[in-house]
Structures are given as structure tokens and as C-alpha cells.
Structure 1
């Protein structure tokens, strides 16, 4: 279970993913009824390919910054980002053992390896 202290760090992650999935989530219900665990389990099922992105907890780091970092990492790893309807909503799937690593995905997009 994600602790209260980690909630602040995770809040953008889960609320963004939840909006993409039309899933109602707040700090209270997520922690009290275990929805964070439910979301983590289901994010894993939604992932097509995971791209590792380094990021910090800096509050000034916006979703757009993370998207831009994602593009740089994808380019380096020779992946391309296939948009569906120009959707820019990103979700970052995090696990406690990877607290310093970000995993970017999007339930509306696919990442495919360029051969």
C-alpha cells in the first residue's frame, strides 16, 4: 500500500491515469479502500511497452515536461509514439521499488519499436 507521505509524489500519476480511464479517485478513497493498488495492477495490464524516464519530485515539473522527456527517451531507444486523435494525456505507472524511476504510458497510445 502507498503511504500518505508518498501520496503527494504519486498524485499526478494516479489522477491523470484515472481521468484517462474515467475512474474517480481522491486521496481519501484511494488510500482507504485500496484503489491505488487496484490502479497499479490494472496499469500493468494496460501497458504495451514501457519506456524508462528519469525525473525528479520537483513540483515545477509539469506533465508537459514529462511528455517531452518521454519523447527524448523514446527517440534514444528508437521507439516512436503513435498518437490516436492527438491525445496528450499521459500516465506514469510507479511502483514502490521503482520510486526513482518513471514509466510512461498512455491508454490511448501505442509505443512500437522501430526496426
Structure 2
């Protein structure tokens, strides 16, 4: 229950800051429809635990897990807001990273397809 209260508090604080920043940057625009809620599933939490365990070779403590979840949620909120503000437009580094991710995805798809044909 403590984890949920802390996550809610952090999420509300980050959301409030982002709302204020957005209103200050674009005061003349009409309000957009609300974005879907940022959620974390049990699978997301398991993935965060697994990544922690791979790096530190132990499971995270409750406090560490709370921080991991909070950081994950904050990152998601900030990424969504950056996209909404079109901060990715014209950014060479972001374009290269997206191209890199797409190349990895295509490579994996080709490997799976080749594996199925043999």
C-alpha cells in the first residue's frame, strides 16, 4: 500500500509540473483531449526487477523497486509530453535512434523468418 501511495504522489507531482509547463509554453492553444493514463502492469514491474537483478545480481529491495517504478513512470510521462510538444521533430539523434531500433526489429524479423523456412 505504501508503494501505491508513493507512486500516486510522485505521479501527481510530475503530472502537475508537466501540465504547468505545457500551459506556460502553449497558452493560446485549446486544451487537447486527455492522454491515456500512464499505467504500470505486473509484467512491467517484473521486467524492472529482472533488469535490476541482471545488473546487480540480486533482487531489488522494496525501496529500490519503488524508485525503479517511479523512475519508469516519470520517464513515460516526460517522453509523452516531449512527443506532444514535438520535441522529437528535426532531432538527428532521435531520428538515428529510431532508425537503429527499426533496423534491430527488421533483423529479428528476418532471423525468425529464416528460421521458419529451414
Of the two structures, which has the highest relative contact order with CA contacts closer than 8 Å and spacing of 6 or more? 1
TM-score by length of structure 2 reads 0.29
**If each structure's strand is expressed as a fraction of its own residues, which one has the higher value?**
1
TM-score by length of structure 1 reads 0.30
**If each structure's helix is expressed as a fraction of its own residues, which one has the higher value?**
2
Which of 1 and 2 has greater Rg? 2
